[in-house]
Amino acid sequence: MTQTQAQKMTERVTPIMIGRPVDRVDGPAKTTGAAPFSTDYPLVNMAYAALTYATITRGHILAIDTSAAAARPGVLAVITHLNAPAMKPPPRQNMMNLASLAPGTSVNYLNTDEVHFNGQPVALVVAESIEAAAEGAALIDVRYQASPATVDFAAEQPNAVPQKNTMAQAGSAKKGDAEAALAAAPVSVDATYTTPQHQHNAIEPHATTAQWDGDQLTVYDGVQNIDWTRKHLAQRFDVPVGGVRVISRFVGGAFGGKTMVWAGTVLTALAAWVVQRPVRMTLTREGVYRTVGGRTPTIQRVALGAGCDGHLTSLIHASIAQVGRVGGGPEQVTSVSQDMYAVPNMAIQQSNVTMDAVPNTVMRAPGEAIGTFALESAVDELAVALGMDPIELRMLNEPLAGPLQGKAFAHRHLREAYAVGAEDFGWRHRTPQPGSMRDGRHLVGQGVASAWHPSWQFQANVTVSMSASGEVLVRCGFHEMGMGGATAQAQITSDLLGVPFDAVTVSYGDSELPLGPGAGGSGQTASVAASLLTACGKLKERLLSLAKDSKASPLRGHPLSDLEARDGGLFVGDSTAGESYPAIMRRAGRQTVQEAVGSESRVGSLLLQARFMTKFLNDKRHWIKAACGAQFCEVRVDADTAEIRISRWLGVFDVGTVINAKTAASQLRGGIVMGIGMALSEQTLVDPHTGRIANPSLSEYYIPVHADVPRIDVRYLNHPDPTMPLGLVGVGEVGITGTGAAVANAIYHATGKRVRDLPITLDKLL
Ligand code: MOS
């Protein structure tokens, strides 16, 4: 905070809220259990549903015996492809049409005898209790005819197909002759890095409560995109979009796993239609693994060539990832490599193999999280080959403009992030020789890596209204998954209007509200903030024009640019001449004043969204917009057992303006925690013969627990991005980028062993 800001705060009755570590407004509701999640709505006459999952990977159903399930007391209905009401098939995915991205898979569940992936739902049991539904689902006997399937990712490499460009990423890019420059480079690294499939493990499993009233559908579901969910359900059940209401007040974590619409949501609505009662279905943890996509596995080649002085001459990044035969888009594995280093020769290529599996989906920094593992490991390997400090090597190759097309960076303060981080972490005390920092039985290692994640913005319709007493209500159908979105928007509104933080209420999580952005691409906060800036500006203009109607108003004759919004009203400069909002409204005889941005229409406008995206993408043709950071990791490796413990972490981030110092730090820290899981323990084990996930539970798929997570220090630089609303660029995903490499580089420093295959389990060090 600057000194003038600090001085102002002492003068103002309403303090500046942006930047403060404000507690989340939903904190008390969550800690007391009052916050309603999707299965907390106590509807009358509720029934419960459970799924039976296919045990083959590809083929069709020959026979299905539901008699035992139907006879189980309490079972109300057993729904299979033999008796399910017809649903419309999902739309084909099209990367240029955002709304078509909604289906997690293209399978018309229970409307087909075909099986497309191991775990596909083949029966749905509805019952009076959760137990009866689950037992019923277990009693269903299915006979299949299996057909050949593609399930072995490693064996499929020769069949990888080069990827086309999409809205989010280039499938390939080229500059100069990277192979020739690599061959001619006096110092080079050319290595293959592999990362496994990962599954989504939000604490709240996918869960839905659905109720039909005639052909009106109400769905309570923890989702990341209310609009996509509503449109998808309307399309599948062939009802008007306005007839589907999605309520998503709280979401117990999502990380990308609740962006698309998966089987559980669609089939809960189907079950409710069949029994004509409200139905609730909470997927088991296994159910989430079977029916919700995860992160693609990858095989990545990164090759770097450099002069003896450390200047890069060549960068090659080629990745092979997987997509599903029934859905799943390519992930931007190589995108960070295109922006990261000044290099005259570059070759980028993404390829994909098509697999018979539940399709992959977005997961926190999809592509970037694992792509930076390969790139930033290779940079560390090059530093070793050059005998150069890895931070010095990165600083030497910092680009002044985008290395591929010469686009300007909207802002980029990576040098400062490393400088601040090196000082705080004590990097100068590090001795470069591997194994040289032993502490008793532990080999101590310290590694760094760069973090990088692009900034996104989406269309956000917002209304802001003020009551006669000066209370403000912000309405926008955005999503609260634990990040503190409503708190941040209340802080922003408080500052824009100069009203107390407590006078602002933010309403979100309901399709009855003006259409909000999806919670994805780290873009939700910036998207809503952009519309709030406009809406609050219009509201102040409206209030000023009401005031100016009266000769008595001290605001008369002043344009808005002369005025400050503070202390619950408008004031001339920093003088006491001014009027409170309630005084203005009382004299004008107004009970409420409201302004809106975008369409008020609850059905939403595809045209508005498309127009917004075109404008945003056009803007991205001129600017590279991203959050970045420097990750510092210290590990301790047991010299005898090779047990790896992370002992210290510091992340220094350039995320533009920080709206809430507490929740932003939590987001970044959460990204690092998830990155620690990626680095050391998380992997989906897929049987290469059957394509079945072999570890569909938290007792066999290891996410970090508290004992695995050290103290994580997070700092940020707070330089506003001049091209983004309020200068903010989003904090949701950048925290996980670079984490895998920071750990791998620290482990190399500790042990002298370079592990290029995630997760780095101790057997790889022995
Ligand atoms: Mo995300 S992977 O943008 O939730």
Q: Tell whether ligand 1 has an atom less than 6 A from the beta carbon of residue 256.
A: yes
Q: What is the pLDDT of residues 132-158, one digit of tens each?
A: 999 999 999 999 999 999 999 999 999
**Farthest CA pair distance, the chain:** 85
| Ligand 1 atom with least separation from CA of 256 | 4
Q: What are the distances in angstroms from CA 598 to CA 476, 595, 609?
A: 11, 10, 10
Mean pLDDT across 258-273: 97
Q: Tell whether ligand 1 has an atom less than 6 A from the beta carbon of residue 136.
A: no
How far, in Å, from the CA of 674 to the mean position of ligand 1?
A: 13
Q: What does the pLDDT read at residue 100?
A: 61
Q: What is the pLDDT of residues 37-79, one digit of tens each?
A: 999 999 999 999 999 999 999 999 999 999 999 999 999 999 9
The span from the CA of 757 to the CA of 744, in Å, is 9
User: Rounded to 5 degrees, what angle do the CA atoms 623, 627, 629 make?
Assistant: 130
How far, in Å, from the CA of 231 to the mean position of ligand 1?
A: 19
How distant is the alpha carbon of residue 345 from its chain centre? 32
How many Cβ atoms are within 10 Å of 174's Cβ, its own excluded?
Answer: 13
Q: What does the pLDDT read at residue 94?
A: 60
Whether residue 603 is predicted with pLDDT greater than 70 in this model: the reply is no
Residue 576 identity (one-letter amino acid): T
- Closest C-alpha to 207, from 221, 186, 193, 196: 221
The span from the CA of 303 to the CA of 237, in Å, is 50
| Ligand 1 atom with least separation from CA of 254 | 4
Q: Tell whether ligand 1 has an atom less than 6 A from the beta carbon of residue 226.
A: no
Mean pLDDT across 662-685: 98
Q: Tell whether ligand 1 has an atom less than 6 A from the beta carbon of residue 255.
A: yes
How far, in Å, from the CA of 190 to the mean position of ligand 1?
A: 31
The span from the CA of 656 to the CA of 333, in Å, is 24
Q: What is the pLDDT of residues 362-389, one digit of tens each?
A: 999 999 999 999 999 999 999 999 999 9
The span from the CA of 184 to the CA of 182, in Å, is 5
Q: Are 263 and 231 in contact (CB under 8 A)?
A: no
Residue 717 identity (one-letter amino acid): L
How far, in Å, from the CA of 365 to the mean position of ligand 1?
A: 6
Q: What are the distances in angstroms from CA 230 to CA 102, 215, 410, 515, 609?
A: 10, 14, 35, 11, 15
Residue 532 identity (one-letter amino acid): L
Mean pLDDT across 511-515: 94
| Ligand 1 atom with least separation from CA of 255 | 4
Task: Count the alpha carbons within 13 Å of 270 in the hemisphere toward its beta carbon.
Answer: 28
Phi, psi values for residue 741, rounded to 5°: -70, -40
| Ligand 1 atom with least separation from CA of 366 | 2
The span from the CA of 252 to the CA of 254, in Å, is 7
Q: Are 553 and 545 in contact (CB under 8 A)?
A: no
Q: Are 442 and 640 in contact (CB under 8 A)?
A: no
- Closest C-alpha to 362, from 477, 476, 461, 453: 453
Q: What does the pLDDT read at residue 341?
A: 98
Mean pLDDT across 183-190: 98
Residue among 259, 292, 480, 678 to mutate when testing ligand 1 (max atoms within 8 A of CB): 259
Q: What is the pLDDT of residues 105-139, one digit of tens each?
A: 999 999 999 999 999 999 999 999 999 999 999 99
The span from the CA of 462 to the CA of 638, in Å, is 54
Q: Which DSSP state fits 510?
A: B
Q: Are 123 and 55 in contact (CB under 8 A)?
A: no
Contacts of 67 (CB under 8 A, 6+ apart): none
Q: What does the pLDDT read at residue 2?
A: 43
Q: Tell whether ligand 1 has an atom less than 6 A from the beta carbon of residue 454.
A: no
pLDDT above 70 as % of the chain? 96
Q: Tell whether ligand 1 has an atom less than 6 A from the beta carbon of residue 364.
A: yes
Q: Are 660 and 20 in contact (CB under 8 A)?
A: yes
How far, in Å, from the CA of 126 to the mean position of ligand 1?
A: 32
How far, in Å, from the CA of 295 to the mean position of ligand 1?
A: 11
How many Cβ atoms are within 10 Å of 92's Cβ, its own excluded?
Answer: 10
pLDDT confidence bin for 619, thresholds 50/70/90: confident
Q: Tell whether ligand 1 has an atom less than 6 A from the beta carbon of residue 453.
A: no
Q: Which two tokens stand for residue 205?
A: 């499993």
Nearest CA to ligand 1 atom 4: 256
Residue 594 identity (one-letter amino acid): Q
- Closest C-alpha to 571, from 584, 554, 587: 554
The span from the CA of 288 to the CA of 257, in Å, is 9
Q: Tell whether ligand 1 has an atom less than 6 A from the beta carbon of residue 520.
A: yes
Q: Which two tokens stand for residue 433?
A: 């020789």
Give burial (CB, 10 Å; 0-12/13-18/19+) of 500. middle
Q: Tell whether ligand 1 has an atom less than 6 A from the beta carbon of residue 363.
A: yes
Exposure string for 398-437, b = 16+ CB within 10 A, e = fewer: ebeebbbeebebbbbbbeebbbbbbeebebeebeeebbeb
Whether residue 167 is predicted with pLDDT greater than 90 in this model: the reply is no
Whether residue 10 is predicted with pLDDT greater than 50 in this model: the reply is no
Q: At what angle do helices 368-386 and 661-680 cross, to 10 degrees?
A: 70
What sign has the CA pseudo-torsion 637, 638, 644, 647?
Answer: negative
Q: What is the pLDDT of residues 447-468, one digit of tens each?
A: 999 999 999 998 899 999 999 9
- Weakest mean pLDDT among 43-47, 166-170, 249-253: 166-170
Q: How far apart are the first and last CA of the chain?
A: 50
Q: Tell whether ligand 1 has an atom less than 6 A from the beta carbon of residue 725.
A: no
Residue among 101, 201, 225, 364 to mutate when testing ligand 1 (max atoms within 8 A of CB): 364
How far, in Å, from the CA of 338 to the mean position of ligand 1?
A: 21
> Strands 626-638, 644-654: parallel, antiparallel or unpaired by DSSP?
antiparallel
How far, in Å, from the CA of 732 to the mean position of ligand 1?
A: 8
Q: Which residues are catalytic?
A: 733
Residue among 255, 331, 731 to mutate when testing ligand 1 (max atoms within 8 A of CB): 255
| Ligand 1 atom with least separation from CA of 258 | 4
Contacts of 662 (CB under 8 A, 6+ apart): 21, 22, 23, 484
Residue among 199, 201, 333, 362 to mutate when testing ligand 1 (max atoms within 8 A of CB): 362
Residue with token string 């709505």: 41
Q: What does the pLDDT read at residue 8?
A: 45
| Ligand 1 atom with least separation from CA of 521 | 3
What sign has the CA pseudo-torsion 373, 378, 379, 383?
Answer: positive
Q: What does the pLDDT read at residue 604?
A: 53
The span from the CA of 532 to the CA of 492, in Å, is 8
Q: What is the pLDDT of residues 718-729, one digit of tens each?
A: 899 999 999 999
Give burial (CB, 10 Å; 0-12/13-18/19+) of 501. middle
Give burial (CB, 10 Å; 0-12/13-18/19+) of 109. buried
Q: Tell whether ligand 1 has an atom less than 6 A from the beta carbon of residue 509.
A: no
